[in-house]
Structure 1
């Protein structure tokens, strides 16, 4: 009779292992992204740089006043200068982890956000991150976002 109880228990353990492994990978991916936003809040360009791969690409999908759309690119170096240049406002991007997809050493993350200067709302949108697992952990290789002032998620 004891054997009958052992089989469901063993199956439960086997089936739950991939979920636990995925969960720890998801947490590691989240941690890399959170490092970016913690660094932005602190104005710490070294902390921000540590979240990115060396040749990362940063872009914004920008809605223009004439109802057209443009892609605006920023180099990682330009972004790091902006973050590290002393400023009186705290750059506080508040994100929600909506979707995290991982396949081996590649991760894709979708994060709706609201951006505040100090406690004053500035804009909102969505970030789309591509990350890869490097020898030192997950690194952002591509970040594209949208920006708007209304219809926040």
Structure 2
């Protein structure tokens, strides 16, 4: 006669599987307006990857600033100076990937908070969090300011 022992862990397996599935699924689908807010930020990142200054500039509100916070220092640049730092030629492939962006919108202002990884030639160079605030001007979302932090230890987001 086989006696089956009660295991509290066996009864938790279906619940754990369901939670794991929820943890990997987005919390909610992006609304059309959230997608519209994300579009200029993604265009900026794509412009960096393509080394296309005009593509980058089209996503930005003239006069805005970027603040880059690194462990050794914090640097503030006007958008034009930032764009000038992105080389228009080179052999290295540049790519910044954001994930799980949080988007908040109130009428004609919005913000994006998103963890990122910056890759050079397909390898993570650094990671951190991007924060962007946007304004809606003439029916179009433009990035008015950006702040990010960056670190070399990219195993976990902080």
The TM-score range, normalised by the shorter chain, is 0.7 to 0.9
1:86 aligns with 2:54: no
Aligned-residue Cα RMSD (Å) equals: 1.9
Q: How far apart are 1:136 and its partner, in Å?
A: 4.9
After the TM superposition, which of the residue ranges 53-62 and 74-83 deviates more from structure 2? 74-83
Q: How far apart are 1:86 and its partner, in Å?
A: 1.4
Out of 135, 149, 152, which is 2:152 matched to? 149
Give the aligned partner of residue 105 of structure 1.
108
TM-score by length of 1: 0.77
- C-alpha contact (below 8 Å) 2:105/2:111 kept by paired residues: yes
Separation of aligned partners in 2, 1:40 and 1:86: 11
Structure showing the higher helix proportion among its residues: 1
Q: How far apart are 1:97 and its partner, in Å?
A: 3.7
Separation of aligned partners in 1, 2:123 and 2:41: 23
The superposition leaves residues 76-97 of structure 1 with CA deviations (integer Å, 9 ceiling, x where unpaired) of 1122222253122121001114
Give the aligned partner of residue 71 of structure 1.
74
TM-score by length of 2: 0.75
Separation of aligned partners in 2, 1:138 and 1:112: 21
Give the aligned partner of residue 62 of structure 2.
54
What is the total number of aligned residue pairs between the two structures? 129
Give the aligned partner of residue 117 of structure 2.
114
The superposition leaves residues 7-41 of structure 1 with CA deviations (integer Å, 9 ceiling, x where unpaired) of xxxxxxxxxxxx99x81110101111110011111
Work out which of the two has the higher radius of gyration on C-alpha atoms and give 1 or 2. Answer: 2
Which runs of no fewer than 5 residues in structure 1 stay unpaired?
1-18, 65-69
